[in-house]
Each structure stands twice: as C-alpha cells, then as structure tokens.
Amino acid sequence: MWMTPKRIRMEVDEALVFRPEWTQRYLVVEPAEGDGALCLVCRRLVASTRERDVRRHYEAEHEFYERFVGDEERAALVERLRQGDMSLASVLTPEERATRAGLGLCRFLALKGRGWGEGDFVHQCMEVLLREVLPDHVGVLEGIDLSPEITRQRILSIDSNLRGQLFNRARDFKAYSLALDDQAFVAYENYLLVFIRGVGHDLQVQEDLLTIINLTHHFSVGALMAAILEALQTAGLSLQRMVGLTTTHTLRMIGENSGLVSYMREKAVSPNCWNVIHYSGFLHLELLSSYDVDINQIINTISEWVVMIKTRGVRRPEFQPLLTESESEHGERVNGRCLNNWLRRGKTLKLIFSLRKEIEAFLVSVGATTVHFSDKQWLCDFGFLVDIMDYLREISEELQISKVFAAAAFDRICTFEAKLSSLQRHMEEVNLEDFPAFSIIVDELKQQFKEDQKIFDPDRYQMVISRLLKDFERHFKDLRFIKKDLELFANPFSFKPEYAPISVRVELTKLQGNTDLWNEYQVKDLGQFYAGLSGEAYPIIKGVAYKVASLFDSNQICDKAFSYLTRNQHTLSQPLTDEHLQALFRVATTEMDPRWDDLVRERNDS
C-alpha cells in the first residue's frame, strides 16, 4: 500500500514477518516451517503474514473469542488452545452448519456471476455426487436451501455484513478519497460506481465499493451530488476529510461549469483541509484514450470483421486464438458495445494485426469487401493505432498495480509522458524505430507502390501524439501541483528542507536529525515508518501522511468491477433491483471476508 523509497532493499521484508504479539491478539502461532500463521482455533494456515490478512481471518472466523478481554484471560485461552482444548469454542449445530454452507455457496455464486436460479442446479449436482461417493452423507443437504428467493436474501445479508464492516472502519478514517466511475456498465450506461479509499490511524489502506447510483433516477449533477453525500453520511464521513477525487474524463464528471467534480470540490472546501486533488486519467485509460487515437474509425471496421468471423469463420484454425480470447473475455455471446470495448485494447489490436493477411483471405472467400487492404491511408492509420494502443496498454497495466502509493503511480505517468514526447520527435524525424507495426505497414506499402515517394504524412500522426500528450498533462495536473509533497513524503530524509513548504520545514529538519528515526526508516517500509511516527512530535508530517496515503494509487478496484460486469454481462442484464446489483458488485470487489458467525446468528434469529 506504500511506495518503497529508492534505497537499498532490506534483507527481510518486515511486513511479511510473523509477530509474537499476534498470538494473544489473533490466536495464531508461527508454524514449524516458518511460512504464514497457523490459527490455534481452526488449525488453518493463513498463507500471508501481513497483519491485515491475519486480522481479517480472526474477525471473520473467530469473533466469539473477543469476549476474553484481559491479558491474563487471553494468555490462559492461548494456553488451552495450544493444548487442544476446544471446549470454549462456539460449536455449531447441524442447522447452523447448513446455514453457513448455504451462505458460502451463495457468495460463490455471486463471485462467479451466476443467476439466482442456478443454486438449485448446484444443489442437485451435489446430491448426485454424494449419492455416488458418500451415500451415507446425502442427508447433510436437507438443511441447505439454495432456492432463488433464499439465494437473493442471503446475498443481501452478506452485502449488509460487508457494508457494516466498511462503515465501522470508515468512521476511523483520518482521510479518504473517492473514485467515480460512470463508464463501467458496458451493457447499459445507467449507473455510477462510487469507490472509497481511506486510511485509519495505523495507516492501513481500505479500498471498497461505497455505493452505486442509478443515473436514470439521478440524472442531474445536483441529484448525483445529493446521493453521494447521503452515502458518505451513512458511512459516518464528512466532505471535510475528503482529500482526492479520481474520475473518468466524461463531461458528466469534468464539465467546466456543470461537471460533478466542480460541485464536489466546491462543497469540500474547508480551512482545515487541502483543496481536493482531482485526476481523471486512471479509470479506463486505455478505452477512453482510444477514441482520440482512432482517427479513421479503424475499430468500427475491425468490429465488422470480427462479427463476420464469429458467424462464418468459427471453424477456421487460424482464428481460434482470436475466438478463444474473445470467449474468455465475454463468453460465447457478446453485445456490440462489449465487443467494441474489447477491440479498443492494445493486446486485442495487436492480435488482429498479426492476423491481417488471414482476415483479408477470409473476407475474399466469403465475398466481403477488402477495399481497406488497398487503402494506403487506412493501413498506415491501422499500424499507427496498433502501436500507440500497445503503449497505452503498458501504462494501463502499470496503473493496475495496487499498494504502491500515489507517488509511484505519478512517476509512471511522468515516464509515459516522456515516452510520448520521444515518440513525437521520432515521428517528426520519420524514424519508425519505436513504431513496429507502423514500420511493417510502411515497408509493405513501399514494395507495393515503388514509384510513390511519400507513403504517409508524419504531421498527421504528430498531431495525434501531441493531443494525447496534452490530455495526459490535463488529466494529472493536480498531481503535478503536489509533486513536491509526494517527493518529500516518499523520501523524507533526502529531501532538502529549504525546498519544503514553510509549514513543514521545522519538523522535517528535526526528523532528519533524529538518528533513531533514520535507523527505523532504513529497515521499515514507508507505511510502517509513518505509522510509528509520533503524531505529537510531528503533527504536520503525520497529517500529510494520512492525506497522501488516501489518494488512489491504482485503478485496480475499478478494473475488477469492469471485468466482473464484462464477464457476466448476460446475468447482470437480467432484471435486478439496485440493491441486488450493489450487493453483487460489493461481493465481487471487496477484499473483506463476511463475518460468518454473525450471519449464521442472524439467520437463526429470523
């Protein structure tokens, strides 16, 4: 969750080392082989030794033991568990076990995007399996109800449980940011996904879905603003703690006078907080940028080809990699907009480019037009599009890496902007070394049109690169505005105090002169270092740490939601209430585990 500063890597990453105090706190011990953390209650191995993962296992599975509060009580409890005494555990009755199994299966169905009615099918499959393999245990299925109505209710219960956990943590957030995604719904554009990223006093980062908003019912910016404020109020958060906004760059979001961002920044103004940092290039960067790069409607033409291949060329072996890739992304059936979005990916365009000769032969065989394959301008635009989209794919994938801190993400953006500047210079010099697909097309055209001295116009492509570069500078200008703050925060001991803001110079000078803190900084990652920094001795630096940590450093959670919808478009396009849709997206995107014991008790009490 934090960018590691540029220094010598430590021999052992302290964040992945078992800590002795966890034994009493979370009832785990270090296993003999030294990997992970072994739970004393259920004897399961928690593979990761990050405290966050160990704590989640304890809270989700063994909340019963929270009743043992005192140190002596906890020590005695640990000793009894070490000796194998499980008499204190809340033993589940057969009915409770059936309820828990049903809840787990419903969550699994939601994660896989399956319809409510498929629970009965799963139940029948398990019954057939048990009758053949374990006939004496078929009776255990009697208490597991996976009917459509029960499945719907259980998904809502799981959503309520996860939302309650989020709200409990949100009340302790020192700072938070929002990500607003109005482009995730590829089957129908009528929802806004609102994600939240916050940090508590221990500087642990929490990213989750806050709410989804039906844009049909909240068409105006004022109505959207009211819905977001209501969601924040329900979570116990005020706008005064909001530090950042990450959005798409649609007019609904960033319109100069009527965009949602300008409304929210105006509401969030407070003497005690930063101006809200806004950046609009993280979400769907590859998809939205493609509309500026595709200067000859190349993708619309390719879309027609792919539809033809899906209907008339499915048996051709040369197209199997393309069809397999399409089915893995969308399934066998795909709507037009999903297909168009898939074709706007650098990886897909590269695959199409490699098959261009086979596609031309296929089009000839079915009597379709092949006029584009003799159009110099179109072919050059195609090669250029493939290369630029491949570079956009690279930066988009880099921005999907989470837990690196916003400074690292901004460094990647700056590196990509430098790359665009280099591409622009090379195009001006007619140097196609960094344009492999374009270079192949130009070489082929030179062989075909030997008497033609001018195959392409470099100014045409320079303008596209220049426009793309200006878009990046505009989308991330707020991060550029706080660049010094990010550098100072990532490297507090090497940043010169005279270049720091006046308000922080005294604290920074004192920090850099503290040998003990320097030693800690050498062996800890930034998250651990700032978590242990005294808020009384360094209140300004600590406050900035909370704010910087809460800025979104990746588009991972939004991409997870987008992928979930793309894979399960047909299930999610069925009639669903907003409440059920929100429940499915929360289950699909959260890193939290439901508190099963609470859910079982709720089911039994109802």
| Most confident listed range (231-245, 481-495, 558-572) | 231-245
Instruction: State whether 405 and 497 are in the same domain.
Output: no
> Does residue 416 belong to any structural domain of this protein?
yes
Q: Which residues contact 597 (CB under 8 A, 6 or more apart)?
A: 61, 63, 64, 90
> Does residue 12 belong to any structural domain of this protein?
no
Instruction: State whether 433 and 324 are in the same domain.
Output: yes
User: What is the pTM (predicted TM-score) of this model?
Assistant: 0.84
Top pLDDT among 92 and 287 is at 287
Note whether 131 and 200 are within 8 A (CB): no
Confidence of residue 375 (pLDDT cuts 50, 70, 90): very high
Mean pLDDT of the chain: 86
Span 321-332, average pLDDT: 79
Top pLDDT among 450 and 104 is at 104
Confidence of residue 467 (pLDDT cuts 50, 70, 90): very high
Radius of gyration of the chain (CA): 28
> Does residue 277 belong to any structural domain of this protein?
yes
Span 228-244, average pLDDT: 92
Instruction: State whether 244 and 173 are in the same domain.
Output: yes
Which two three-digit tokens encode residue 375?
A: 């159009």
> Does residue 14 belong to any structural domain of this protein?
no
Instruction: State whether 308 and 456 are in the same domain.
Output: yes
**How high is the pLDDT of residue 416?**
95
**Following DSSP, what letter does each residue of 287-353 receive, concatenated?**
HHHHHHH-TT-HHHHHHHHHHHHHHH-TT-GGGHHHHHHHHHHH-S---HHHHHHHHTSHHHHHHHH
Which two three-digit tokens encode residue 61?
A: 């599975």
pLDDT of 488 over the 90 cut: no
Confidence of residue 465 (pLDDT cuts 50, 70, 90): very high
Q: Over the stretch 248-258, which tens digit does the pLDDT of each residue have?
A: 988 889 887 77
| pLDDT cut 70: percent of the chain above it | 92
Output the domain CATH number for residue 246.
3.30.420
Confidence of residue 239 (pLDDT cuts 50, 70, 90): confident
Element housing 192 (H / E): strand 191-199
Instruction: State whether 151 and 203 are in the same domain.
Output: no
> Does residue 10 belong to any structural domain of this protein?
no
Domain boundary among 508, 531, 550: 550
pLDDT of 217 over the 90 cut: no
Span 102-121, average pLDDT: 89
Instruction: State whether 178 and 244 are in the same domain.
Output: yes
Domain boundary among 155, 181, 207: 155
> Does residue 443 belong to any structural domain of this protein?
yes
Q: Taking each helix axis from N to C terminus, what angle separates 336-343 and 556-567, rounded to the nearest 10 degrees?
A: 140
Q: Which residues contact 20 (CB under 8 A, 6 or more apart)?
A: none
**How high is the pLDDT of residue 490?**
87
Q: For residue 198, give the 3-state DSSP assignment.
A: strand
For CA atoms 486, 489, 490, 491, give the dihedral sign: positive
DSSP 8-class letter at 36: S
> Does residue 486 belong to any structural domain of this protein?
no
Domain boundary among 139, 155, 171: 155
**How high is the pLDDT of residue 331?**
64
Q: Which residues contact 245 (CB under 8 A, 6 or more apart)?
A: 177, 178, 179, 180, 261, 264, 265, 276, 277, 278, 279
pLDDT of 16 over the 90 cut: no
205: domain range?
Answer: 156-281+552-602
Instruction: State whether 201 and 143 are in the same domain.
Output: no
Instruction: State whether 312 and 401 are in the same domain.
Output: yes
Instruction: State whether 441 and 538 are in the same domain.
Output: no
Span 568-590, average pLDDT: 85
Instruction: State whether 297 and 436 are in the same domain.
Output: yes
Note whether 33 and 67 are within 8 A (CB): no
| Most confident listed range (67-76, 356-365, 479-488) | 356-365
Which two three-digit tokens encode residue 593?
A: 């585990």
Phi-psi group of 430: left, alpha or beta (phi > 0 → left; psi -120 to 50 → alpha; rest → beta): left
pLDDT of 579 over the 80 cut: yes
Q: For residue 105, give the 3-state DSSP assignment.
A: helix
pLDDT of 351 over the 80 cut: yes
pLDDT of 323 over the 80 cut: yes
| Closest C-alpha to 282, from 479, 545, 418 | 479
Q: Over the stretch 41-58, which tens digit does the pLDDT of each residue have?
A: 888 888 777 788 888 888
**How high is the pLDDT of residue 423?**
96
> Does residue 236 belong to any structural domain of this protein?
yes
**How high is the pLDDT of residue 85?**
62
Note every long-range contact of 139-147, with CB atoms under 8 Å and residues 24 or more positions apart, other chains counting.
140/94, 140/98, 142/98, 143/94, 143/95, 143/97, 143/98, 143/99, 144/98, 144/101, 144/102, 144/105, 145/102, 146/102, 146/105, 146/106, 146/119, 146/120, 146/122, 147/119, 147/120
Q: Rounded to 5 degrees, what angle do the CA atoms 358, 364, 370 make? A: 90
Residue 220 burial (10 A CB sphere; 0-12, 13-18, 19+): exposed
pLDDT of 95 over the 50 cut: yes
Strand arrangement of the beta sheet that strand 191-199 belongs to: 205-214, 191-199, 175-181, 242-247, 277-279
Top pLDDT among 358 and 606 is at 358
| pLDDT cut 90: percent of the chain above it | 41
Instruction: State whether 575 and 524 are in the same domain.
Output: no
Span 507-531, average pLDDT: 89
CA distance 319 to 309: 8
pLDDT of 194 over the 70 cut: yes
Instruction: State whether 223 and 349 are in the same domain.
Output: no
CA distance 11 to 13: 7
Query: How many structural domains compose the chain?
Result: 5
